[in-house]
Structures are given as structure tokens and as C-alpha cells.
Structure 1
Amino acid sequence: MPWRNGGGVLHRAASVDPSAVVEAGAVVHSGAVIGKEVVVGSGTVVGPSVSVGQSTRIGYGVSPASSVLKQSKLCLVMEMILVSLCSRYNVVLSNCSVGEFCTIHNGACIGQDGFGFFVDQDGQVKKKPQELYARIGDNVEIGANTCIDRGSWRDTMIGDDTKIDNLVQIGHNVVIGKCCMICGQVGIAGSATLGDYVVLGGRVAIRDHVSIASKVRLAANSLATKDIQEPGDYGGFPAVPINEWRRQTVNLRLFSKKHHDRR
């Protein structure tokens, strides 16, 4: 049946708040729930059992699958792809905007609160406010079970054309530039900043508030404990220029062998 606000088509079993707008050319399937002040753009297909939270704006051509849950304050723009077909509600988006031509795989969580706490004068652990957003650029791919936290003092930002593997943790206030590649099990602590064309190998860790220059590549299992200001390859724990890390590794092996021979 046609919807009075916008002229889109609804299934009779869909639940749509009276304040929502479903534009002409949009289709809302059976069991979908459209919240207060939601705008569903023309050409959008909202699948069965999708829940679209308050104040969400869904742009032209976005087609949420039946296994996708959208929470409040989202902005989903043209041609976003949500790859999420295995189990209900296995992609969770809240307090975020997602750009054009993005792909988000199963189990990803974007826009939830970051890990921010402090101990007050009475010795009680208190939560720091987490009230800003996660902003995902255009043509970004986000792997399965990756988490991207919302910001607290600045928005969490993922630049255009960045590709993120499975099982990656990106903390609150992190800013990642364009065309970066982040491999599986990477952990980026809060308020870190990555430039453009950064490559992080598997299980790399970035300390909080660290800045990584553009065109830096970090070898797998490396830990960046301080700013890296020059482009190039780095590795180790803590991360140093790659040739220095290789020398350290060789010297350690020689020392270990010499010590063993003396015994």
C-alpha cells in the first residue's frame, strides 16, 4: 500500500512511525520497522524484519537485507552494500554515517561507545561520555566482526577507499586516511591518527594518541608505541625501521647461539 508521507510502497505487515518519510520508488517489506523521523530514499528496498532506528536517513539505492539492524542517528547514502545474510541482526550500525559504494560484512559493529573510563576522587570507575560519531568514507570495505567505535572528543573517521580485514578493532577518535589497508586482528587504540596509503600487517597494534605518517607499512605483529613521521617500512616490538629490526633479529639469534655454545 502507498505511504502518505512520500508515496513509497509498504507491506501491510510493516510498522512505520507516522513521522517517517518513505519516498516514491522505495519499498518496505513485511515485518520491517521504520522508526521516528526516518527518511527512506527513492529506490531503496528495506527487507523483511529490518529495524531502522530513529532519525536514520537512507539514501538512494541502499537495500538493507533481512539480517541487518540499524539503530538511531544513521546516514546511509547511495549504493551502500550490506553483506549480511547468515543470521539476524549480525550487522549493527549506530551513530554513524556510511558513504557511497561501501561493503560491510557479517558481524561488523560501527558506532558503538568506545572504551573510555576514569577513576573519580572517590575511587569509583566512571564512564567518559561517548557522544560523537563514526564517519565511513566512500568505497570502504569493512570485514566480518570488525568494530569501529564512535568518537568522544572527535569523530572516528575512515577515509575513502580504505579496506579493513576481519576482526579489526578501531578505537574511539581514531582517524584513518584514504587508501589504507588494515589486515586481520589489528588493534588501533583510541585517538590514533593514520595518514594515507598506510598498510598494517596482521596483528599490528597501534598505541593510543600515536600518529602514523602516510605511506608507512608496518610488518605483522609490530607495535607502534610512538609517532612514525617518515614514510617507509617498519617492524618489531616496538616498531623501528625495517632494516634496524632485521639487524636486531640477527644479533639476537647470534647472541643466543653464542650463549648456548658456551654452555
Structure 2
Amino acid sequence: MEVTVKEIVSFYESIGIKYRITGEEDVSVHSFCPLNALKSGSVTWARHLHKIPIEKMNEVHRKESLILVAEYGEELAGAEFPVIYAENAQRAFFLMTERFFGFLNPENRERKIERTAVVDTKQIGKNVYIGHHTYIASDVSIGDNVTIMHNVTIEGGTISIGDHTIIESGTTIGAQGFSYFKGLDEREICAPHYGGVRIGNHVKIGANNTIIRGCLADTVIEDDVKTADLVCISHNDLIKQGAQITCGVMIAGSTTVGEHSWIAPGAVLNNGVNIGENSYVGIGSVVLKKVREGHKVFGVPAINID
């Protein structure tokens, strides 16, 4: 598909993105590329112009064409190719690629239930995709525009999944947690898990996550939460709106992760810890106590680094 600078900025106008242009508006491209793998006939983007390989980009443009989307307010000298300066260049770039090249995105798949999926629930919204070899129990409710990929298991207690949520392959939701007490015969008995799991709207659950159902109440993942791959969320955890949890994070039970907080790869959050909103937990940290709102912690054990 061919798209011109003029068409791109017309799209930005239609969605209210502030921009300005240098260079010719009739230059067209038919693909996209990252800045570190430039190719002719493509559009790319950059957040920081001081890292721009300007001579190489001019060379690529001379072969066919190149368009750059850059941060509004920046200024790039010596560019022979068109530059579109747009507010929040990353957002502007990917909204544009979805508009003009969205047919290449495998996430934009046909809405259907694959024939190898086993789906016992009748509570399924509109425009839902359920992948191969996925099992969904009868007490699960699924909202509209939900994508559940392959080899996912969702069962155990009452589980609800909100609208526009994506669950990647290999994830288990609703399993019983690890909580034991000694019985009358002194043998270890797993505490009953009577609760369920509540997942909000616009949530992204990465591949091979484990989300444990609650013990006496539900495990809750609020709207706009994003998890990367290999994350474990335990019983009775509360993950608040907009929190981002990256690869390999382990969250013990009854923990609260505050709104819009960031948990870096490999971090471990101890049982019952409260992570304040807009806080940051550094890579590989072991958090043993409360993190106050807006603070940054790092280390083993994690300490404040503000």
C-alpha cells in the first residue's frame, strides 16, 4: 500500500494530533522500518534527534523514499527527506501504521473460536477470538472484543474478563494457590480457594502468565493493566488501574500494586506488600516492605533510591 506525507498528516488532523512538516508532501512510502534497520520506501520514527544517522537516511531516501516521524518541537538540520514533527512521536507513528498498514498486524485476526478450543461457557461477548487448544470453563464470563490465544486455561471459581482484553498463549487463570496449614493428623492441607478472578477492560496479559484465584475473596486486575511474559499473580492480589508488570515478575499473595506503577523484570514482591501508585520497582529487586507513592526502589532487599 502506498501512502503519502499528505495522507499521513490528514489522518493526524482527523484525530487531533498537532504536527508540522518539513519537505515535500507528495513523497510516498509503501512500508515501515525501525531506525536501526533503515530501508527505502519506508516510514520510521525517532524520539531523540541527536541519535539520528542523518547521512545514512539521506542515502536511503535518494534510492527511493523515506519519511521520518519525529517529536514535535525538535528540529533536524540537513534532512533531504520529509520530516513530520508530531506530538508524542511514538504514539503518532503507531497510530499511523495501524491506520495504513494494520492489515499486516497479526493481532487484527478474524474473530472466531478455533475448532480445537473447548469452551463450556455461554457468557461470551461480541467479536471474541479464542485460540487453538484453549479451555474455558462454564463459570467464566467474557466481554466484547476479547482475544484469548492458544493453549490458555481459564477455570476455577467465578472468573470475569472485561472488554478489549488480550490474553496471550500459555496462560493459566484461576488455578489454586500455594497456602497450607497442618491438619489434625499434622499433614499439610492446602487452604480452600473459594474466590475467583476479576480482570478489567483493556487489560493485556502476557504469555505464560499464572493468575491464581482468590482464597476468601477475588484476585483483581483492574482496567488498563499490562503484564509481560512469565508473570505470576497470586491469590487475593489487587493490581490497580494502569499498572505495568514486566517479564518474570513474581507477586506473592495479598499484595497491592498501585495505579500506574512500574515493576521491572525479575522483581519479587513479598506477601502482603503494598506498592504505592506511580512508583517504580527496579530490575531484579526483592521488595519486603511498603513502597510509598511515587517512590523508586531497587536492590536485594529493595531500598529507596530517590
Q: What does residue 234 of structure 1 align with?
A: 297
Q: How far does residue 56 in structure 1 lie from its aligned partner after superposition? A: 4.5
Aligned amino acid, residue 233 of structure 1: K
> Quick check: 1:93 aligned with 2:154?
yes
1:175 is matched with: 238
**Which of the two has higher C-alpha Rg?**
2
**In the alignment, which residue of structure 2 is the partner of 1:52?**
119
Partner of 1:78: 144
Structure 2: distance between partners of 1:239 and 1:153: 30
Q: Which runs of 5+ in 2 are unaligned?
A: 1-110
The aligned runs of 1:251-262 (5 Å cut-off) are: none
Q: How many residues align?
A: 195
Map of 2:132 onto structure 1: 66
More helix by share: 2
Q: How far did 1:64 drift?
A: 1.7
Residue number among 269, 284, 299 corresponding to 1:221 in the alignment: 284
SS at match of 1:135: strand
The residue that corresponds to 2:77 in the other structure is: none
Tell me, yes or no, if structure 1 residue 105 matches structure 2 residue 168: yes
Identity %: 30
Q: What residue is the counterpart of 2:255 in the other structure?
A: 192
State the superposition RMSD in angstroms. 1.7
| Structure 2 counterpart SS, 1:46 | coil
Q: TM-score, length-normalised on structure 1?
A: 0.70
Residue 109 of structure 1 aligns with an amino acid whose one-letter code is: T
Q: Separation in 2 of the partners of 1:56 and 1:187?
A: 33
> Superposition pairs for residues 28-43 of structure 1, below 5 Å?
none
Structure 1 segments of 4 or more deviating over 3 A? none
Deviation at 1:230, TM superposition (A): 3.1
Counterpart selection for 2:265 from 182, 199, 202: 202
Indicate how the Cα distance of structure 1 residues 56 and 171 shifts in structure 2: closer, same or farther if over 3 A, else same.
farther
The one-letter code of the counterpart of 2:116 is S
Give the deviation of 1:167 after TM superposition. Answer: 0.5
Structure 1: which 5+ residue stretches go unaligned? 1-43, 85-89, 244-263
Separation of aligned partners in 2, 1:221 and 1:184 = 10
What is aligned with 2:28? none
